[in-house]
Amino acid sequence: MNKKTVLITGASSGIGLHFSHKFAQDGHHVVLVARSEDKLLSLATELEGKYNIKAHVIKADLAEAGASRMIYEHVAAKGIQVDILINNAGFGLFGEFEQTELEKEVDMIQVNITALTELSKYFGKEMVKRKNGQILNVASTAAFQPGPLMSVYYATKAYVLSLSEALANEWKEHGIQVMALCPGATKTGFSDAAELQQSKLFQSGVMTVEEVVDEAYKQMADQKKVVIIPGVKNRLLAGSIRFMPRKMVTNIVRKVQERI
């Protein structure tokens, strides 16, 4: 890749953190977005010192209405051109629907769907004008089927996948590449926050953050795939679902989501 400026949401941990290092290591400037300003400032100092790039910091909680607009206006005011957008911020919630907290689920929809859509719109329009740019939306293998015990999370990721595929089609003629990254179970702070460590899914084996990001980074440079599914096992599972009855798929997901 030529040297570019990359905006990464959820940059302070997990997949976003590794993306930050990956792009900076190759000489790209980064705009780091997350809720924790202290972590972002520490990360920015580290990246600038190790890789001789410029790292901008934006503290923002994407669960708050107007946060996406604030990010866009901040970047515009600084005269920064975002060449690559990584919509990574997101979270999940485990539990039966009648027992989970509605406020957390509304926040999840705001972060996983609304903020991602807004940022794609704001920066995507600029990319279309320039006839150049990349957007990577972090979805999940959860996007391919309903998810009992994480019903809202799975539904948000289905939206992310659908939106990404549609925009990839619309904007291809404008020179914009839109991709959906669909990792399977991955060991991150996300899994801890969603209380997934004791589920059968996570006990069956997970990928590392490094493995997920390295595969995504390679595919972004290759620019051939719209849907990126890291890991052979994940690709086989995602593909096989298409040939199974939906009721059976839903029952299987319920089984693997249950705690041991």
Name the residues annotated as catalytic.
153, 157
- Give the C-alpha distances (Å, rounded to integers) separating 163 from 97, 152, 169, 208: 25, 17, 10, 26
CB atoms within 10 A of CB 92: 23
- Give the C-alpha distances (Å, rounded to integers) separating 234 from 20, 143, 207, 250: 24, 12, 10, 17
> Are 136 and 220 in contact, with CB atoms under 8 Å apart?
yes
How far is Cα 15 from Cα 124, in angstroms, rounded to an integer?
22
From 181, 155, 172, select the one nearest 85 (Cα to Cα). 181
How far is Cα 181 from Cα 228, in angstroms, rounded to an integer?
5
How far is Cα 55 from Cα 52, in angstroms, rounded to an integer?
9
Six-digit token pair at 52?
A: 């001789």
Q: Are strands 84-87 and 133-138 parallel, antiparallel or unpaired?
A: parallel
